[in-house]
Amino acid sequence: MIDLHIHTTASDGTWTPEQVVVAAKQGGLDAIAITDHDTFAGYEEAQPVAAREGVPLICGIELSTKLPPATPNGRPKTVHLLGYFLRPPAAPLLEWVKTQQAIRHERNVQLSARLAELGVPVTMAEVRERGRSMAGRPHFASLMVEKGYVATLQEAFDKYLDEKGVAYVDKHDPSLAEGIRQVREAGGIASLAHPIRLNRFGREEEDLIRQMAKMGIHAIEAWHPDHTERHRERYEILAQRYRLAVTGGSDFHGDNKPGVALGTGKGGNVNVPRKVLERLRGLVRA
C-alpha cells in the first residue's frame, strides 16, 4: 500500500516530516509522497529521514488554483492540483511557488483583519507561530477553537472561514491551466486532488474532467477519504475514458483532520495499491 497525499507541519498538518516518515515505516507503507500546500519544505526535511529509514519518498506539492466561472456571474472554483516527481524542483517552478506563498501571506493578513472586525481576533503573530510561513485556514481554525470563539474546527469553517463563511477572503490563485503548465514544464505529473470537491456531478463533472484532460493533466485522485467506494469507481472509469492515470492518498493532516489515518484514510476507505505508482513512474519516463 502507498499514500500519495500527505501534509506535514511545513503546511497545515500537525505531524513533522520525520513523524510522518517513521509512521509510514511502522505502518508498512511501500511508498509515500509528501504534498504540502505551496511548499517543498516538508519534503526536503523528510528526505534524509526517508533515506535512513528506507522509505521510498516522492517529492510532491499541492497547489491552489482556480477554474474560471462557467457563467459570467459565476464564482471561480478553487481546485487543488497535486504535482509529483518534482525532484529536484526546477528553478522556474521554485520561483513560481514563491509567488504562491506571497499570495497566501497576503490573504492571511486580510483574513486576520477581517476576523478582528468581526470581534473574533486572530493575530498574524499567533498564526505565524502556529503555521510559520505556510499558515493556512486550518491554523486560523485551531486558534479560534483555543480562544473559545467556536467549539470545533468544523464550526470555524462553517461560520467564518469557508467560502460561505462571514470572514471568507478570496485568495488570488493562478488558473488551473497555469498550474498544470508549471508542473509539466518542471517534468512532473499533475493530478486533480479530491475531485469530489469540484461539487459537480454527472455530466457537469465529466465535462470538467474532460476540460482538464485537454489542459494536459495526467491523472485524477481516485482514492481519498472523502470518496465513497462508488465515487472511487466512477473516478477510475472517468480516468480510463479520458486516458488519465489515477492517484490516491489519505490527505493526512494529523490533528487538523481528526478521523483520517495515514495510509488508510477514514475507516480504511483509502488503500492505494503499489501498481498505481508504477504506472505514474512510467509516465515520467515516457
Q: Which is nearer to ligand AMP, 147 or 274 (CB)?
A: 147
Give the nearest distance from C-beta 199 to ligand AMP in angstroms.
11
Closest CA to 79 of 177, 3, 202: 177
Binding status of residue 221 toward Fe ion by CB under 5 A:
no
Contacts of 95 (CB under 8 A, 6+ apart): none
Closest CA to 84 of 193, 198, 241: 193
Give the nearest distance from C-beta 88 to Fe ion in angstroms.
22
Give the nearest distance from C-beta 4 to Zn ion in angstroms.
12
Q: Which residue is nearest to ligand AMP (CB)?
A: 136
Give the nearest distance from C-beta 62 to Zn ion in angstroms.
5
Please choose which of ligand AMP, Zn ion, Fe ion, none residue 64 contacts, taking the beta carbon within 5 to 8 angstroms, the exact cut-off set by kind. ligand AMP
Please choose which of Zn ion, ligand AMP, Fe ion, none residue 130 contacts, taking the beta carbon within 5 to 8 angstroms, the exact cut-off set by kind. none
Cβ(280)–Cβ(187) below 8 Å: no
Q: Which stretch binds Fe ion (CB under 5 A): 26-34, 83-91, 221-229, 246-254?
A: 246-254
Q: Applying CB under 5 A, which residues contact Zn ion?
A: 80, 193
- Kindly report the three-state secondary structure assignment for every residue of the chain: CEECCECCCCCCCCCCHHHHHHHHHHCCCCEEEECCECCCHHHHHHHHHHHHHCCCEEEEEEEEEEECCCCCCCCCEEEEEEEECCCCCCHHHHHHHHHHHHHHHHHHHHHHHHHHHCCCCCCHHHHHHHHHHHCCHHHHHHHHHHCCCCCCHHHHHHHHHCCCCCCCCCCCCCEHHHHHHHHHHCCCEEEECCHHHHCCCHHHHHHHHHHHHHHCCCEEEEECCCCCHHHHHHHHHHHHHCCCEEEECCCECHHHCCCCECCCECCCCCCECCHHHHHHHHHHHC
Please choose which of Zn ion, Fe ion, ligand AMP, none residue 157 contacts, taking the beta carbon within 5 to 8 angstroms, the exact cut-off set by kind. ligand AMP
Q: Which is nearer to Fe ion, 206 or 231 (CB)?
A: 231
Q: Which is nearer to ligand AMP, 65 or 269 (CB)?
A: 65
Give the nearest distance from C-beta 94 to Fe ion in angstroms.
20
Q: Which is nearer to ligand AMP, 37 or 218 (CB)?
A: 37
Q: Applying CB under 6 A, which residues contact ligand AMP?
A: 12, 37, 64, 136-138, 157, 162, 171, 253
Binding status of residue 36 toward Fe ion by CB under 5 A:
no
Binding status of residue 251 toward Fe ion by CB under 5 A:
yes
Q: Which is nearer to Fe ion, 62 or 173 (CB)?
A: 62
Give the nearest distance from C-beta 81 to Zn ion in angstroms.
9
User: What does the binding site for Fe ion look like in residue numbers (CB under 5 A)?
Assistant: 12, 62, 251
